[in-house]
Amino acid sequence: MRGRASEAITVSLPNPRILLVDDDISFLRGLRDYFSASGYDVDTARTPEEALQLIQEAGTRSYQLVITDLDFGDLSQIEGDQFLLQNLSLFRGALTAVISGTSDLTVDRRLRLEEAEIHFLQKSPETAGKLEEIAEEAKQRRATDIAAILAEVVTPRVEERIGGLLSIEIMPLAAPSVASRYADVLKGVVIDWLKAREDLDAPIFMYGTQVYSANELAEEVRRETKVGLAHVALLLDEFQSFLGKGQDGKAGNGDDEV
């Protein structure tokens, strides 16, 4: 069986995660519902102080998108732009945005936001569209980050650099474009691993009813045949078991590999 398989490999990523900070509960709920429907996992906070606590609990690189209100009234003395600018290191790799409902910013403050690549939006009928653009950009950036992490794993030897995968969690449900790019990178990992073998033409891999050399198996992976995709899935499974995240009911998680 050497034809292209009809089924695709099932590889998906966790939902992108977003942190929304606003003292206006109704607006916060509206944004939460909007982003939840768009495939985000949403955390909400009513003040910058609450947001910082959530970040501490979740980890500094847990959020792909952080959107904060500018003015928190009596609830906090910290303003949204200050909150982001003073904690830039916590948001490295994430997209950030400040939304203002009532006031504009001085030119000086606007420039500081621009320098830090923080979006600034005023609440208006167009806000939803702009937020949608930012959200899409966050998803794309996330896919690129994951691709970079996986590419780093490829060389010089997959086995030795497997620790690079620690940054990635495999969970059901993700944007198809992200899953697709992730699957492509995984294919590359498997092909590179096979091509790194010394005996490229030795018939070493017995699978189903066929025997394959490393070269032949790499070709199966490249062409996404059933056998090729099965090996991508097997290797991914092995990575996950190595990381203690396997779904292996018989052997338990992270069993005897460590």
Partner 1 sequence: MAKQEMATTKYRLEEPGVERRVILLVAPVHDALTEYTAELLADPPDLGAPNVLCRPVHPVTYDEQLSRLSIDPAATEVCLIFCGHGRAGSLDVPGASGGGGALSPFFDYRHVPAGPKFLLAFCSNSGAWLGGAYERNTRGRTFVGFDGEIGFVAAGGAYAYTWRKILFGIAAAMLSAADDNFALEKSVVGLYRDALSMFSPENDPKHRWGLAMRMYLRQQMKAVSCIRT
Residues near partner 1, by CB under 8 A: 158-159, 162, 193, 197-198, 203-211, 230-231, 234-235, 237-238, 241-242, 246, 248, 250-251, 255-257
Considering beta carbons, is residue 185 or 236 the nearer one to partner 1?
236
- Least Å from the CB of residue 71 to partner 1: 54
- Least Å from the CB of residue 153 to partner 1: 13
- Least Å from the CB of residue 208 to partner 1: 4
Considering beta carbons, is residue 14 or 254 the nearer one to partner 1?
254
Considering beta carbons, is residue 152 or 160 the nearer one to partner 1?
160
Query: For the residues of the chain, what is the DSSP string, one character each?
Result: --SBPSSPP----PPPEEEEE-S-HHHHHHHHHHHHHTT-EEEEESSHHHHHHHHHHH-TT--SEEEEES--GGG-SS-HHHHHHTTGGGGTTSEEEEEESS----HHHHHHHHHTT-EEEE-STTHHHHHHHHHHHHHHHHHHHHHHHHHHHHSS-TTTTGGGGGG----S---HHHHHHHHHHHHHHHHHHHHT-S-TTS--EEETTEEE-HHHHHHHHHTTBHHHHHHHHHHHHHHHHHTT----TTT-TTTTT-
Considering beta carbons, is residue 151 or 162 the nearer one to partner 1?
162
Considering beta carbons, is residue 84 or 221 the nearer one to partner 1?
221
Please classify residue 159 by burial: count the beta carbons closer than 10 Å to its beta carbon, then call 0-12 exposed, 13-18 middle and 19+ buried: exposed
Considering beta carbons, is residue 98 or 158 the nearer one to partner 1?
158
CA separation for the pair 97, 133 (Å, rounded): 12
- Least Å from the CB of residue 224 to partner 1: 17
**How far does CA 158 lie from the centroid of its chain?**
21
- Least Å from the CB of residue 255 to partner 1: 6
- Least Å from the CB of residue 257 to partner 1: 6
Considering beta carbons, is residue 51 or 158 the nearer one to partner 1?
158
- Least Å from the CB of residue 185 to partner 1: 18
